Amino acid sequence: MENTRREFIKKAALGTAALSIGGILPGFSPKSYGRILGANDRIMVAIMGVNSRGMAVGTNFASQPNCEMLYCCDVDSRASQKFSAVIEKLTKKRPKEQGDFRKALEDKDLDALIVTAPDHWHAPAAILACKAGKHVYLEKPASHNPNEGELVMAAAKKYNKILQMGNQRRSWPNVIAGINEIKAGAIGRPYFAKTWYTNNRESIGIGKPTAVPEWLNYDLWQGPAPRRTYKDNVVHYNWHWFWNWGTGEALNNGTHMVDLARWGLGVEYPTRVTSSGGRYHFRDDWETPDTQVINLEFKNNTAISWEGRSCNGKPIEGSSVGVIFYGENGSLFIGGGNAYTIYNLKNEVVKDVKSDNAAIDPRNLTNPSQALDALHIQNFFDAIRVGGKLNSDIVSGHQSTLLVQLGNISQRTGRTLNIDPTNGHILNDNDALKYWSREYQKGWEPKV
């Protein structure tokens, strides 16, 4: 796998990868790519959170020839040791293990922090990194709540730091090409984008209070979140389904496809948001919806719909995840891969662009598309080294994150939200505004 990945990057650097849009990345020539890959000085990174998705993202970063994994930061000593061993085997150099990422940020040799911790840490960690003078690669979602999204945008601007959100499809060549087809009028004026995610997740059961394991710094794991008693069904993955730490399937997976929908329709903030759904399948500790439909309307007479089914994996349009754009003259479908298909109004295929050889498994919880995601990493490096344009800067990342956050707020209040289309703020609804921010553990409040 390592050799395959390195060969992919090597070919990309030489400009020989089979890409259909005239370069390895938009505005990023093979010459500039080669210059970066040939640089003697590597970008020094630390990663925060190396379980599950963090392991995948971290090994991808470490595999880049212009990067060095300087620190491994995790509150789980077992995960830290495992990750460090993997990186040592991959690169012949073991990263420094640091249980508290804040101490790693004190290192003047560190260039960037990768944030792959749970959602409640995303924005607070990114803000601390910016304040410490570090660039940030921030896995989606951009924040746990809308106020945090605005804070992290302010931090990136105030401290003049590069901040890329990890909605990696923004860098997949055929996905970019598909969006460009829409903007070029391939289906006429697009007016509706349907997005979805499906899976067959099992019940998380009823958690039992128990002693905190000796390998876990539970206080730092909770960080800015109000303290909760440790239970045996939360750490490490199931925190996604608890509002105190997670954001549900809407932000866990919905963010990716809603982001593509927003990009293709050319919209920013909605005018009206509704949501329906609930925890329908099992009766357990899971708090967020396992079944949810979010509808968003925009002032340019367009709309986006997201359907999430965590516990029934029946595909839509033959794909477990995807977006389909409907326009005046046809439709364009992007599934879980690096591909797209255009249909006319008679449902006849007009154009069918297939995925390349990079393997993609959209239901893989940790690493669905490693080789393609390397393009997003290199785009981040390009912005740091030579001022290249980010494919997913924090403003764009916040806008897409906010759409599904507003869906969750509508869900939790049980009513339609009216939104200011200039900034995404909720209008005339004090109950809904309670969810705009959150309570913090005293002393852990994020500050720009």
pLDDT for 120-140, tens place per residue? Answer: 999 999 999 999 999 999 999
What per-residue confidence (pLDDT) applies to 52? Answer: 87
194-232 tens-digit pLDDT: 999 999 999 999 999 999 999 999 999 999 999 999 999
pLDDT tens digit sequence for 87-120: 999 999 999 999 999 999 999 999 999 999 999 9
Residue ranges matching CATH 3.40.50.720 in the chain: 2-170+373-386
Percent of the chain predicted with pLDDT > 90: 87
Q: What is the pLDDT of residues 152-178, one digit of tens each?
A: 999 999 999 999 999 999 999 999 999
Domain with CATH 3.30.360.10 in the chain: 173-206+217-360+394-433
- The pTM for the full model equals 0.89
**SS3 label, residue 262:** helix
Can you tell me whether residue 435 is helix, strand or coil? Answer: coil
Distance from the Cα of residue 398 to its chain's centroid: 11
Instruction: For residue 46, give Cα distances in angstroms to 72, 99, 168.
Output: 6, 12, 19
Sorted by sequence, the CB contacts under 8 Å of residue 160 that are 6+ apart come out as none
Q: How confident is the model at residue 367 (pLDDT cuts 50, 70, 90)?
A: low
Could you report the per-residue pLDDT of 338-355, keeping only the tens digit for each?
999 999 999 999 999 998
**What is the pairing mode between strands 272-278 and 291-298?**
antiparallel
Enumerate residues 6+ apart whose C-beta is below 8 A from 240. 118, 119, 246, 247, 248, 249, 252, 288
190 vs 177: CA distance, rounded Å: 16
Inter-helix orientation angle 370-386/2-13, to 10°:
50
The predicted model gives 378-401 an average pLDDT of 97
Task: Produce one character per residue of 142-151: b if its CB has 16 or more CB atoms within 10 Å, e if not.
Answer: bbbbbbbbbb
pLDDT at 357: 56
Residue 37 predicted with pLDDT over 50? no
**Domain 173-206+217-360+394-433: which CATH number of 3.40.50.720, 3.40.50.620, 3.30.360.10, 3.90.550.10:** 3.30.360.10
Contact between 30 and 14 under an 8 Å Cβ cutoff? The reply is yes
According to DSSP, the β-strands at 302-309 and 163-165 are: unpaired
Residue 188 has pLDDT above 80, yes or no: yes
Q: What is the pLDDT of residue 362?
A: 58
Structural tokens at position 280: 């329908």
The single residue listed with the structure tokens 């852990």 is: 444
Distance, in Å, from the CA atom of 371 to the CA atom of 357, rounded to the nearest integer, reads: 10
Specify the fold of 2-170+373-386. Answer: Rossmann fold (3.40.50)
Phi, psi dihedrals of residue 191, rounded to the nearest 5°: -130, -10
Nearest-CA neighbor of 256 among 337, 340, 322, 172?
Answer: 322
Residues for the chain: how many in total? 448
Distances (CA, A) of 229 to 69, 210, 441, 445: 34, 8, 14, 20
Neighbours of 274 (CB within 10 A): 17
Q: Average pLDDT in the 415-442 region?
A: 98
Asked if pLDDT for residue 363 goes beyond 70, the answer is no
Question: Do residues 209 and 231 make contact, with C-beta atoms less than 8 angstroms apart?
Answer: yes
